[in-house]
Amino acid sequence: MNFSNLQTQTDQRIMRITINRPQSLNALNAKTIEELSRAIDQAASDDEVRVVVITGAGDKAFVAGADITEIQTLDETTTAEFVERGHATMLKIQNLGKPVIAAINGYALGGGCELALACTLRVGSDNALMGLPEISLGIIPGFGGTQRLARIVGTGRGLEMMLGGKPINAKKALDWGLLNQVVEQEYLLEAAYKLAAHLSKSAPIAMQSIMDAVNRGADLPLEDGLEIEKDQFVKICGTQDMREGTTAFLEKRKANFKGH
């Protein structure tokens, strides 16, 4: 597939998407968002892909935000479409049904932080800076930040980040649960791939069920969330992977999950 602002490669069940606009610190313009959306479609339809890693080109930025040159031209007639496009792409990432790991190699600001929030897991380099600084531009987060950040770090910390506009460093992001792991920058991809390789051998349908139950259950009353869990468990018990996993345990061997 041809992309101008992304590089993609798939190897050993792991698809890597690199956002490649280093001259703008990988800022997300409309074309990049459209390409990201197509790349996620590709990850969804390719059975070979079990895990996706998203990172930014260069050693300075994951993504330094939505493209401010485009934001500057928005008005009351064009903004809804801009926001809807961003929302749709972030939702597509969140609901891919395969784990998506953000490998955050520097600035993850504004739309870049929101992209990371839509991913399943986040690994950061020690120079990562994460934040929603939109307030300093006189705007608000528009790619899901007002909703996803507080769900991950809590309302108090989320409001502090969005109202104050100051990015937090990797150590604090780890402490607040915004990052799952922090490593020295030179080992970032290695760490993201180690995690991806581990997940690539897990049972794909079970992973999908866990992500679905967590995502859909997060904002439901407990009893409704438990219904989702039950439905997913029933579905899983009809899979060959469930037979393989339990049989492999009893036969004291490693399971070979095929995704059906």
User: For residues 99 and 167, which CB has a smaller minimum distance to ligand COA in the complex?
Assistant: 167
Q: Which is nearer to ligand COA, 140 or 226 (CB)?
A: 140
Q: For the CB of residue 120, give the shortest distance to ligand COA in the complex, in Å.
A: 23
Distance, in Å, from the CA atom of 217 to the CA atom of 92, rounded to the nearest integer, reads: 18
Closest approach, Cβ 105 to ligand COA, in A, equals 13
Contacts of 179 (CB under 8 A, 6+ apart): 104, 122, 123, 124, 128, 130, 170, 173
For the bound state, the minimum distance from the C-beta of residue 68 to ligand COA, rounded and expressed in Å, comes to: 4
What does the alpha-carbon distance between residue 214 and residue 121 come to, in Å, rounded to a whole number? 13
- Least Å distance, CB 173 to ligand COA, is 16
Site residues for ligand COA per CB under 6 A: 24-25, 27, 64-69, 71, 107, 109-111, 133-134, 137
SS3 107: strand
Q: How far is CA 158 from CA 5, 92, 148, 161, 168, in A?
A: 30, 23, 9, 5, 11
Residue 120 to residue 143: CA distance in whole angstroms: 16
Q: Annotated active-site positions, please? A: 114, 134
Helix (H) or strand (E) holding 8: strand 6-11
Q: Which residue's CB is nearer to ligand COA, number 9 or number 136?
A: 136
Of 107 and 257, nearer to ligand COA (C-beta) is 107
